[in-house]
Each structure stands twice: as C-alpha cells, then as structure tokens.
Structure 1
Amino acid sequence: MPLTPEQEAEIAALRETSRPTLRPVAEGMERHLHLVHPVLDHGFVRVVDYMGDDSSIVQAARVSYGRGTKSVQNDEGLIRYLIRHWHSTPFEMCEIKLHVKLPVFVARQWIRHRTASVNEYSARYSILDREFYIPAREALAAQSAVNNQGRGETLGDDEAARVLDWLREDATQTYDHYEAMISQEGQQGLARELARMNLPMNVYTQWYWKTNLHNLFNFIRLRADAHAQYEIRVYADVLGAVVKDWVPFAWQAFEDFRMGGLSLSAKGVEVLKRRLAGEVVTQETSGMSKGEWREFEGVWGV
C-alpha cells in the first residue's frame, strides 16, 4: 500500500479545503498539490507545498539587475536569458516541499544532493513497514562491461528468476527477524534503533524534502539523465513532469539549455572552428585525451 489510511484521510481533507491567498499561484502546480504519483512498486512522490511561479523568477531578476533587463521583451525571454547565462539566484525564489516514499538505497543516492532540508521517517522511534522494492523482470541486468557503475545486458530468464527468488526470500527473512527482535510478547525485545540494522537496503523509507528550483533543476539534470540509475531516474522523471506544470517558462528553458544542450571545452570549440575552416583534425592533433575525443566524436563526429 503506497499510503496508510491515515495519510489518505489527511490528503483527502487537504484537497477538499480551499483558502484565499495573496501569494502567486501556479495553476499547474495546484493540480499536483497532495496528489500521489506512484513510483516503482510501493513508492510515491507527493507535493506538500510550494512557493512562487515563473513570475517570481522574473520579479527577483528585475529587482537584482534593474535596467540591465530592459532589453528583454517579455518574461519568457528573460527567463531564457537567465538560464542561458547560468544565473541561479532568481530560481532560488521558487521552492517546493515533497513527501517521498523510496527504497533506502535510492534515498542514499538522493541525499547526496545536500542542498535541501530533509526530515526522514525514523526507525529509532517507529517500526518500518514490511515493504521492499523488488525490481521488475526487465530491470534486472548484469554489470556493464564498459561502465563500472552501470548496467549491461538484461539477465536471461533463468538467472532473473533465481535473483528475484533470492531478493524476495532474503527481504522476507530479514523482516521476520527484525519483527521478532522487537517483539514484546514474552521477551524483553531489542531496541528499535538496533533492530533496524538487520534490514536490507531495498526496504522503503519516507521523508519530507524541501528545496528551491535552482537545486531541483540540478537534481533533475543529473538524475533524469539516461546514464543515471533507473530506480532514481523514475523519481526524477515524475519531478520533471511536476516542474513543467509549475513553471512552464523556466522548464522549457531548462530543457533547451541544460537537458538538451551541450557544453564544449575550449579545445572542443577550437576543433570545431578548425573543422569548419576545412582542416582535418584527429585525436592526435586535437590536444584532447582519448576519453575526451571519444565523447567529442560521439556528438560531433562526421
């Protein structure tokens, strides 16, 4: 069950309540407020609160830069200018607070984005639910032969079946022992803060995560990338859809210049100029390392 009955009742009450406000309101985000977006087998993302919209970014930029923005004809143009030139502060004027349910191993990746306020479900005080992430058959893959931190070919049927059986058996057994260790029926029972150490990394946790739009863009840029681990990428994809409805001008600029754009080194710019001038440039004459040249050719090779 993604939500407890108590959480469902709280959400229903919140969605039925309407209050007048003088704050900027993003109609697209209003539709997401308290709506549960399922992720993986037991996870979810829910928007708890937000502050600001596209106009908040523009307002902050015009206060900061004043007459320097007079040449920009409209709000969308200004936002694209800010993204294009790597300005960050105006995007910090928008904030979002999320309720996220996710496997512990995904949470440990996620928490590396330290530019947020986080309050996680505490297994010192509460008992974790018997919920584990068990990958879908097609998500099981061997280690990549070329990438030390990535996946390669999908496992064959027999190998996948064996792995799935182990994952289910191990998760069930460790939770049985966890439950037995903290039991109060006829035994003293181990403290919850100690019993939790026996749980596997695929058990689910929950947290509230609050961050600003600038840092959220950084999260999405890294975690929605095709090279990111699938289990965190699906969360980033959901957040991208939410942000698109929240700040459509900012999202479009972010897609164009960050997700769909490319960064070139000074050597890369020089090689392109030489090629446009008709020169044949090789890795040996480019001044680039083999790794740099391989990535450059992957995009610009002819």
Structure 2
Amino acid sequence: MTLTPEQLAEIAEARATTRPTLRATSEGMERHLYVAHEVLDHGLVRVIDYMGDDAAITQAARVSYGRGTKAVQNDEGLIRYLMRHWHSTPFEMCEVKFHVKLPVFVARQWIRHRTANVNEYSARYSILDREFYIPAPEQLAAQSTVNNQGRGELLEGDEAQRVLDILRDDAMRAYDHYENMLSQEGQKGLARELARMNLPANVYTQWYWKVDLHNLFHFLRLRADAHAQYEIRAYAETMCGIVKDWVPLAYAAFEDYRMGGATVSAKGVEVLKRRLAGEAVTQESSGMSKGEWREFEAVWG
C-alpha cells in the first residue's frame, strides 16, 4: 500500500499539531496517533482518537476521584483480577476510534461484531478507487478437507498463476464497466448507488470504527486467533500491537487469560481431576462427544 503525498502531508500535519489537555494520555498510544499502519496490499489501520489508559480501568473499578493508588503492582493485580473474573465494565471505560481501509469481503466479516460504532465510506455519494485485494501467492490455498470454512494445502505453479490472473482480470473488468456506467460522456450515466453493485467483493472500502476496550478485546480474541481467516487476522494482529502500547497492563492480562488461556467445561474439570488422581480416562468414559474430546486433548494432551 502506498499513501499519496497529499495523504502523507495530511498525517504529518495532524501529528505536528499538539493541544494542551487535562485528560489522561498514553505515551504508547500517542506514538500511534494518526500513523497509517499498512495491512495487506492496499489496506491500513490508523488511530484517529482514543480515551483512557490502564489507570482509567483501575480508577473506574475503584470509583475513585483521582488516580487512586499509585502503586503499579496494585494496578496490575487489580487489572488481572478483573480480567480473570470476567468483570467487563471497567474495560469499557477506555475507547478507541480507528480508521480502517479493508476489502469489502473482510468488512462483511468484521461487521458481525455489532458492539462498535461504524461509519463507512459511501459509494452512493462517492466513487470507489480502483483498488482490489489480490492475495499473495503464499495465501492461495485449496479448500480444507477437514474444515468447511478454512484453507488447506497451497495452490502451486500454473494453478496458482491461473487463479491470480482470474482475480486480477475480473476485478479490472468489473471496474472498467463501473466507470463506463458512471460516465456522463454522451449519456446520462447510471446512479452511483446502482453502479456499485457490479463491483467485486475484493474492492477496498473504508470506515471509522469506534469501540470500547472490552469489546475490542473480544474482537481480537476471535480475529487474531490462528484459526481466523488470514485477511482479517492481518488487521487484528496490527491492532494487537497498537493496543499493547496503549494499555500494556490490560493487554498483558488479555494475552494471559484470553489469548493464551483455555476454557474448560464441567466435564473437562472432572476429567482433569480424575487424571490427577491417577485414573486413565478415555473418550468413552469421559462423557464427552468425539469432537469435544478431540478439542480437549488438543489443549490438555
């Protein structure tokens, strides 16, 4: 992805302008403010605004008038307690507004998270750019034989090149027709709200996405997971780096209890107790289905 000189100048101007404030700021987040982080071939993630920091979480939990305790270890312990016991409200005190440029098919996955405020670029009002997501060769894979919504082995050689050519040619042809339908040279030109329906799902759109930290963590837990689709995972991983700098104590707890943790069912707890007591437990004697047992063994051996 390459930003235009005008866009780079706009970002530089925004970062050069400082304003005095009494509200809490995060040094880590200030470094990310307005900066365009490149994702995929034409995408980006930018922080437009944010509210709160680690101290805002603990302040809300204690309902204090100021910073509360100044001991970092106490704040860290409280944040870990809140995360461990699924106390979500204090994390909702922090908010962030992202500017995201992403392919339409990724946006349709993303919008399933209905806990944010979204304003998308309007193709009824404006004309979309000639920008499409074309996967890198290492991301071209066949349908998985064990996962109905996942990828399997990589495509190689002539087959991979044939798919790339089809994706590129179809996208360009669709955009050519889009421009032709919009054109008012010798014709009235089709309305933008109708012409857009001819564009493919890999065309890029943009939106502002504002979300609180609790719901952002939920988004990242699902979309930065290794099982998530690569394209949306690329955005989630970029956002993970930003959030880690913004609220380092909260992000460390999130990594520990959500990303690196595991949820165990009541049956799973019972199996673990029986194992610790020396019993050899099988799937048949566990009370679990084959699928649940397979997932249990993947974590617990």
TM-score between both structures, scaled by the size of structure 2: 0.96
2:125 aligns with 125
Question: How far off is 1:299 after superposition?
Answer: 1.6
How many Å separate the matches in 2 of 1:144 and 1:160? 16
Quick check: 1:28 aligned with 2:28? yes
The alignment partner of 2:63 has SS state of: helix
How many Å separate the matches in 2 of 1:158 and 1:41? 22
1:231-253 per-position Cα deviation (integer Å, ceiling 9, x unaligned): 00000000000000000000000
The alignment partner of 1:101 has SS state of: strand
Among the aligned pairs, what percent are the same residue? Answer: 80
Quick check: 1:50 aligned with 2:44? no
2:107 aligns with 107
How many Å separate the matches in 2 of 1:108 and 1:9? 31
Aligned letter for 2:31? R
Matches within 5 A, 1:178-257: 178-257=178-257
Aligned letter for 1:136? A
How many Å separate the matches in 2 of 1:255 and 1:229? 20
Quick check: 1:134 aligned with 2:134? yes
Question: How far off is 1:156 after superposition?
Answer: 1.6
Question: How far off is 1:4 after superposition?
Answer: 4.7
The alignment partner of 1:97 has SS state of: strand
210 and 284 in structure 1: CA distance in 2 versus 1, 3 angstrom threshold: same
How many Å separate the matches in 1 of 2:244 and 2:195? 42
Question: How far off is 1:19 after superposition?
Answer: 1.0
Aligned letter for 1:127? I
How many Å separate the matches in 2 of 1:2 and 1:54? 34
1:142-186 per-position Cα deviation (integer Å, ceiling 9, x unaligned): 000000000000002111000000001000000000000000111
2:8 aligns with 8
The alignment partner of 1:131 has SS state of: coil
How many Å separate the matches in 2 of 1:8 and 1:121? 20
Root mean square deviation, CA, Å: 1.4
Q: Which runs of 4+ in 1 moved over 2 A?
A: 1-10
Aligned letter for 2:283? Q
Aligned letter for 1:35? V
Quick check: 1:158 aligned with 2:180? no
Q: Which segment is superposed worse, 290-299 or 239-248?
A: 290-299
How many Å separate the matches in 2 of 1:228 and 1:199? 25
* Contact 1:143–1:151 (CA under 8 A) maintained in structure 2: yes
2:92 aligns with 92
* Contact 1:145–1:152 (CA under 8 A) maintained in structure 2: yes
Quick check: 1:147 aligned with 2:123? no
How many Å separate the matches in 1 of 2:73 and 2:125? 55
* Contact 1:2–1:43 (CA under 8 A) maintained in structure 2: no
1:171 aligns with 171
The alignment partner of 2:132 has SS state of: coil
Aligned letter for 2:48? V
* Contact 1:45–1:99 (CA under 8 A) maintained in structure 2: yes
How many Å separate the matches in 1 of 2:297 and 2:38? 39
The alignment partner of 1:126 has SS state of: coil
Could you list the runs of 5+ residues in structure 1 that have no partner in the other structure? none
Question: How far off is 1:297 after superposition?
Answer: 1.2
Question: How far off is 1:9 after superposition?
Answer: 3.1
2:290 aligns with 290
Question: How far off is 1:55 after superposition?
Answer: 0.2
Could you list the runs of 5+ residues in structure 2 that have no partner in the other structure? none
* Contact 1:141–1:153 (CA under 8 A) maintained in structure 2: yes
1:4-32 per-position Cα deviation (integer Å, ceiling 9, x unaligned): 55433322211010111100010000000
Question: How far off is 1:298 after superposition?
Answer: 1.4
Aligned positions, number: 295
Aligned letter for 1:182? L
1:82 aligns with 82
Aligned letter for 2:272? L
The alignment partner of 1:74 has SS state of: helix
4 and 114 in structure 1: CA distance in 2 versus 1, 3 angstrom threshold: farther
The alignment partner of 1:31 has SS state of: helix
How many Å separate the matches in 2 of 1:2 and 1:149? 32
TM-score between both structures, scaled by the size of structure 1: 0.95
Aligned letter for 2:152? G
